[in-house]
Amino acid sequence: MPRYALKIEYEGGPFNGWQRQSEGQLTVQGAIEAALARLEPGPHTIAAAGRTDAGVHGLGQVAHCDLTKDWDPFRLTGALNAHLRPLPVSVVACAMVADAFHARFSAQERRYLFRLVTRRAPVTHDRGLVWQVNHPLDVQAMREGAAHLIGLHDFTTFRSSMCQSASPVKTVDEIMIAEQDYPEGREYCFHLRARSFLHNQVRSFVGTLERVGAGAWPAVKVAEALAAKDRAACGPVCPPQGLYLSGVSYPQDPFL
């Protein structure tokens, strides 16, 4: 059976997360599997690089599927998108890959983006796509706080109690915070890179760093929270709508 890698983007707002759930629950995985069933009748199961929560978006999610027919990747992309309309999800690239390729287990790195906007007026065009606060933030203080989270650590403080990972020990390779003008405000973009992340780790990081930027926490308190290895020491977990799975890296890019 030929195997295909799919690069997928989606707006998370209408979905109950990535993972297929009980009947009647709209999920990204369920929508794509239903589209595949329209092309080749029968049950389909796709595997993804990561499972995003309800409200979280995808810019570069990667999944793979096995089909019985040899599809031209360009035609498969168009056929899937035709059956996904009008849902806010699309396959932006498709490639035939070796049987050994696995969207989750072959991945070497995941990248996330979090968009945080500061302004008083409610956002309109980016509603549901950013986290908005109405007070100014000190980007340098947030960068100082983020520096404590880089490297190999026990991230118990920054993972959900429902996290299913076997270990809280992970290596975070980068947290880069960029700022830019936003209509009547500022936008802060948090770019994070790691081989893998714990459940709610990124949202826990950003919620904590927002407290640092707002002046409610000194930057050194991030290090103290990390060392505590206690979920109660974490800052507020920020809402999901500003979070994007922005990309996944493999030993060889399947889409080149």
118 and 100 within one domain: no
Range of the domain at 193: 109-247
CA–CA distance from 58 to each of 9, 72, 85, 220 (Å)? 5, 24, 17, 32
168 and 97 within one domain: no
pLDDT recorded at residue 125: 95
Catalytic status, residue 126: no
CA distance 59 to 46: 18
Give a yes or no: residue 256 inside a domain.
no
Domain boundary pick from 106, 134, 149: 106
53 and 153 within one domain: no
199 and 234 within one domain: yes
Question: Each residue's pLDDT tens digit in the chain (256 positions)?
Answer: 899 999 999 999 999 999 998 777 999 999 999 999 999 998 999 999 999 999 999 999 999 999 999 999 999 999 999 999 999 999 999 999 999 999 999 999 999 999 999 999 999 999 999 999 999 999 999 999 999 999 999 999 999 988 889 999 999 999 999 999 999 999 999 999 999 999 999 999 999 999 999 999 999 999 999 999 999 999 999 999 999 999 999 999 999 9
Give a yes or no: residue 227 inside a domain.
yes
173 and 232 within one domain: yes
39 and 69 within one domain: yes
136 and 64 within one domain: no
Q: Please, are residues 182 and 126 in contact by the beta-carbon 8 Å criterion? A: no
Domain boundary pick from 55, 75, 106: 106
113 and 102 within one domain: no
Domain boundary pick from 76, 106, 136: 106
How many residues in the chain? Answer: 256
CA distance 68 to 127: 41
Give a yes or no: residue 253 inside a domain.
no
Given CA atoms 160, 177, 150, 193 in this order, what sign does their dihedral have? positive
pLDDT recorded at residue 118: 98
pLDDT recorded at residue 1: 86
CA distance 228 to 224: 6
46 and 32 within one domain: yes
Give a yes or no: residue 252 inside a domain.
no
Total domains in the chain come to 2
pLDDT recorded at residue 164: 84
CATH of the domain at 129: 3.30.70.660
Q: Please, are residues 10 and 84 in contact by the beta-carbon 8 Å criterion? A: no
pLDDT recorded at residue 173: 98
